[in-house]
Amino acid sequence: MAPEVPRKPLRATLSGTPGDRRRNRLKPPPCAACGHDDTRVTVRTEYVLYYRCEHCAAVWNAPKPGCEQFGT
């Protein structure tokens, strides 16, 4: 077999707005059990975010901002 010929690099651009895309993200709320601010999103679903406190390991959920809840 012949060796592979090096390919030219692709010229790609990101669509959307330039700059940091995370600046408008929601800041995680402080832990309801211990009050520490070191919380992380562990699971994301279509309508709910599940948070976990890194200090006391408490877990809770909150609806995603902008999502309407169904039902009564």
pLDDT at 17: 54
CA-based end-to-end distance of the chain: 67
For the entire predicted model, the pTM comes to: 0.58
What whole-number distance in Å separates Cα of residue 48 and Cα of residue 51?
A: 10
For the chain, list residues with pLDDT below 70. 1, 12-25, 68-72
**pLDDT tens digits for range 46-57:** 888 899 998 899
DSSP tag of 14: -
Tokens standing for residue 9:
């690099």
pLDDT at 35: 87
What whole-number distance in Å separates Cα of residue 7 and Cα of residue 61?
A: 48
